[in-house]
Structure formats: structure tokens, C-alpha cells
């Protein structure tokens, strides 16, 4: 007797379209199984209404001031005012609520001595990096940008808070 030797079959080479068709069939099967599992797992839940349409923006709480001292709180409020209304140079107020550094501090407090103290702290902070700064309004018009104005207001609020002013 002679034994017949069979050679192992070589795997079929599939082209890209055939592989994509097989993958699509496998994914369709998995998605169908997941849909059935979802229906079974949520059958006991009461029917939920569709997501309601909300036509108004949510009311967010006002940001709280991290500083307890009055000068630091005024400088922080001026920072929020600049972030909300925008920054300008060459004038205390712009056409669309923008303010310069001095205008932002004045807009947040009506106490003149508090404004003076806040401007003194702000000038101290500015002079650390710009020793030739004559005043806050002069620096605002010459060197200021919206990003720098916010940065120096934040630094001044931190300094005033550290000093307890």
C-alpha cells in the first residue's frame, strides 16, 4: 500500500475588497449583537423622553475673588473687567466697553484712595520688568497689550494679597 501524502493547503490570498467585505460583515454582526444586548439590558427602564431643547444658556455662578484684602480684590475685579470687556490703549474707555488698566481699576471701585493704592501696587509690579515706566497709563499706551495687561493685573493682585492690602 502506498500512502498518499497531501500537501498542506496554502491560505487564500484575499484582495483589499474581499478583506473589507469580511470586516464589514464582522462589524455588522458585532453591532447587531450590541443592539440586542442594549435592548435586553434596558428593557426594564421606563421610556425616557428625548433630550429637551434648551433655548437659554445656563446661568453660571459669578467667579469668586480669591483675595480678602480690598486692594487685591479691586485689582482682581479689574482683571475680570478686562477679560469681560476687553483692553484698549490711548483712551480710558473704548467704543465697546474696552478699558485701559487705569479705567478697569476705576470701573471696579468708587473709592479714590483704593484706586490710588491699587495703581501704586500695579506700578510697582510693572516697574519690576519695565523700570523706565513713568505711570500705569503711560506704560499701558506704550508697552501694553491685552495679554500683558491681564498678566500684570494678576501679579499686582497677588502682591497686594501677600502684603494684606
Rounded to whole angstroms, how far apart are CA atoms 93 and 99?
A: 4
In a domain, 108, yes or no: yes
In a domain, 152, yes or no: yes
Neighbours of 101 (CB within 10 A): 32
In a domain, 103, yes or no: yes
CA distances from 31 to 25, 28, 41, 142, 144 (A): 10, 5, 15, 63, 58
Low-confidence ranges of the chain (pLDDT < 50): none
In a domain, 26, yes or no: no
pLDDT computed for residue 85 by the predictor: 85
pLDDT computed for residue 40 by the predictor: 84
In a domain, 39, yes or no: no
In a domain, 141, yes or no: yes
Domains contained in the chain, number = 1
The domain of 116 spans: 70-163
In a domain, 24, yes or no: no
Amino acid at each position: 500500500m502506498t500512502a498518499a501524502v497531501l500537501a498542506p493547503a496554502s491560505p487564500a490570498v484575499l484582495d483589499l475588497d474581499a478583506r473589507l467585505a469580511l470586516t464589514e460583515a464582522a462589524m455588522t454582526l458585532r453591532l447587531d449583537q450590541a443592539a440586542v444586548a442594549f435592548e435586553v439590558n434596558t428593557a426594564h427602564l421606563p421610556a425616557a423622553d428625548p433630550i429637551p431643547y434648551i433655548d437659554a444658556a445656563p446661568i453660571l455662578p459669578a467667579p469668586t475673588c480669591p483675595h480678602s484684602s480690598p486692594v487685591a480684590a479691586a485689582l482682581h475685579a479689574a482683571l475680570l473687567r478686562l477679560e469681560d470687556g476687553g483692553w484698549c490703549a490711548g483712551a480710558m474707555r473704548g467704543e465697546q466697553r474696552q478699558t485701559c488698566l487705569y479705567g478697569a481699576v476705576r470701573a471696579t471701585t468708587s473709592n479714590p484712595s483704593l484706586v490710588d493704592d491699587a495703581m501704586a501696587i500695579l506700578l510697582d509690579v510693572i516697574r519690576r520688568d519695565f523700570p523706565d515706566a513713568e505711570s500705569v497709563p503711560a506704560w499701558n499706551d506704550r508697552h501694553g497689550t491685552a495679554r500683558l495687561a491681564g498678566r500684570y493685573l494678576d501679579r499686582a493682585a497677588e502682591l497686594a494679597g501677600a502684603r494684606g492690602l
